[in-house]
Amino acid sequence: MNNMSKNWKSAIFYILIPIVLVVLAFTFANNQNKADLKYSEVVNLFKTNQVSEFELDLTSGTLSYELFSKPDETQDYRVPSVTYFLDDIRDSVNAYNEAHPDAQIEYNYKQSNSRNWFVNLIPYLLIIVVGSLLVWFMMKKMGDTMNNETNRTLGFGRVKAKTVEDKNKKTFADVAGCDEEKAELEELVEFLKDPQKFTDLGARIPKGVLLVGPPGTGKTLLAKAVAGEADAPFLSISGSDFVEMYVGVGASRVRDLFSQAIKKAPAIVFIDEIDAVGRHRGAGTGGGNDEREQTLNQLLVEMDGFGTNSGVIVIAATNRPDVLDPALLRPGRFDRQITVNRPDTQGREDILKVHSKNKPLGPDVNLKDIAQLTIGFTGADLENLLNEAALLAARRHKKAITDEEIQDAITRVEMGTEKKSHKYSDKAKKLTAYHEAGHAVASYFLENHDPVKEISIIPRGLGAGGYTMYQPQEENYTSKNEMLDSLVSMMGGRVAEALALDDISTGASNDLQRATQICRDMVAKYGMSDEIGPVVYSDENNEVFLGKDYGHVNNYSEETSARIDEEIEKMMRKAYERTLNILKENYDKLELIAQTLLSREKINAEEFDSLMKTGSLPEETVLAAEAADQTEAETDDTAVSEDITQNLSEESAGEQIENGSDDTVDE
């Protein structure tokens, strides 16, 4: 539609150009034909005997005349009709000449030749020629546009697969943190390089490989690395590119994609986000004739071998394997599924080494330590982390990235940007300090909780007045005791507000929401409730196309639903009571942490541990704070001294003025 609108605008533009030119030409010609005087006024000049001499071109009607009042000035005028003009002035001219035989009006009539007539027509001919050329050019362009639109319409079934250029090729050296996954894909590389090695043994290389994993773990990068290692053509396309409003376009594009791949075989076809077209059939609102299902059916046919696709390997990526159609995952289609998980500590260190190649790192930067601090980060997260650190270093006018920028970048990625300019009232600041102190102190006395990493009452992110960060541990599973302890930690903010301020606020809304969800998962999803038993009542992944609430029916009774709600409420109340007992017994710790936050605004892990164990900050922290205070005091003293000196000068000058002294005035 945009192209058509643009084409019509161009057509209108080219149509208006010749019209405007013709109008301007005729306007110019008419302006030439008309002098400042009207025809009646010109005739009146003759009737009032003001014209001394004139010359009239009988062909073109051009009149040149002089007046008695302006003998040296010739004026031109084009009469509309030579015959009518001569009839109008003939009597006046003859009468004047008879009355003045010694000073008659001199006049001359001439006849223009055909050549002059043709010369006068040249401007009009040029306008016609230029206008015709513009119209022809416009029509030609419209014709080309219509042909393009026709070709585009006929080419809806053509797929525009992206190919990777040589300069953008990736290899396994560019992929880190997934050694097992690379080993699985090396077979594909060997097949693409030497297929005879496998066919001699009667082996069949997998037709399709499905890469499964969370976003940012490097699935697309792995597929590109396979193509780069094998030096094979790499056709990349997204699953959403198959979906169109026209019926049959998706299936046609699938056929075209495999047709292109066969011509370039051995080749790799990479379909990113395959869940866009590969979802369960029969789950949509379009029934069996759904365009998405037709596209999937054609994909199944191409991969099943009804079309000759030897030498073509399909690699697909998705983070939703649960919604894919089972027919897509059977042997002969996607024979192999490779899970690309989040990297472990060693994997994160390797990824950091890859992304830090072109970045100057300071001597205090230890990639191994950073890898231990970034548990749960994907490859994309780590790349973004180093980029944020580089931006911070550039902002601080440093030549290298130091550990300070790395730590700030970690907090920035996890919690958002600091908003130091945002000022809170003393009441809000105090509430935030006790709230965050409640989280930290409660978690400190929990056996199965991550240690505190940082506490701050500086606003960050969206609506967060403060935060308490924890250092996660490298674990694959979360136990029941860990989840129960996390409930206590989340309740810490609400309980601290009630104990210290004798009031509660809306600041604990998100904490309560997350705690409620954990309780619900424990009861209905993980079977961790002694009252309900080891039964799963959650079926949240069954809704493939429809919304979670639209047409949803619970697979358990209302009585069971009530029991689940009662168990959730019981778990929340127990967690609240545990938190209340911990903070009551350690109220002095709560008060200490809160007051320290009010004075410093931020506490790191070392400082928090020292406050909880010794009741005071580490010695080096105190010395650094005293040095900073001394520097600030010296700055303030200097400013005060300058102010006193200035005030004394002003007072002295005032006394001199009061005593009638002229020294100040002279100065």
Question: Which residue do the tokens 């992929």 mark?
Answer: 175
Give which of 398, 392, 390, 393 is closest to 417, Cα–Cα. 392
Q: DSSP label at 629?
A: H
SS3 at position 270: strand
Which ranges of 100-175 would DSSP assign to H, the alpha helix? 114-154
DSSP codes of every residue in 292-334: HHHHHHHHHHHHHTSS--TTEEEEEEES-GGGB-HHHHSTTTS
Q: Please compute Rg for the chain using Cα positions.
A: 44
Alpha-carbon span 74 to 64, nearest angstrom: 6
Inter-residue contact 515 to 547 (CB < 8 Å)? no
Residues with Cβ within 8 Å of residue 427, at least 6 apart in sequence? none
Spell out the long-range contacts of 99-106 with Cβ–Cβ below 8 A and sequence spacing 24 or more: 105/51, 105/52, 105/53, 105/54, 106/52, 106/53, 106/54
Here the tokens at position 225 are: 């690395």
CA distances from 635 to 48, 600, 646, 649 (A): 100, 20, 17, 21
Alpha-carbon span 482 to 192, nearest angstrom: 48
Q: Which amino acid is at 130?
A: V
Task: Let me know if 667 is a catalytic residue.
Answer: no
Catalytic residue among 229, 414, 436, 567: 436
SS3 at position 420: coil
Alpha-carbon span 364 to 343, nearest angstrom: 24
Give which of 24, 378, 16 is closest to 176, Cα–Cα. 378
Give Cα 157 to chain centroid, integer Å: 29
Cis before residue 266, ω within 30 degrees of 0?
Answer: yes
Q: Which amino acid is at 373?
A: L
Inter-residue contact 508 to 438 (CB < 8 Å)? no
Q: DSSP label at 525?
A: I
C-alpha torsion sign, points 542, 544, 549, 550: negative
Here the tokens at position 206 are: 């997998």
Give which of 286, 208, 298, 289 is closest to 250, Cα–Cα. 298
SS3 at position 566: helix
Alpha-carbon span 251 to 162, nearest angstrom: 18
CA distances from 516 to 22, 90, 524, 569, 573 (A): 78, 112, 12, 8, 11
C-alpha torsion sign, points 566, 568, 569, 570: positive
Q: Which amino acid is at 450?
A: D
The residues that bridge with 266 in the sheet, in sequence order, are: none
Alpha-carbon span 627 to 389, nearest angstrom: 28
**Count of H-run helices and E-run strands, the chain:** 22, 13
Q: Which amino acid is at 468?
A: T
Total residues found in the chain within this entry: 667
Inter-residue contact 227 to 260 (CB < 8 Å)? no
Question: Which residue do the tokens 């150009």 mark?
Answer: 17
Residue positions annotated with a catalytic role: 436
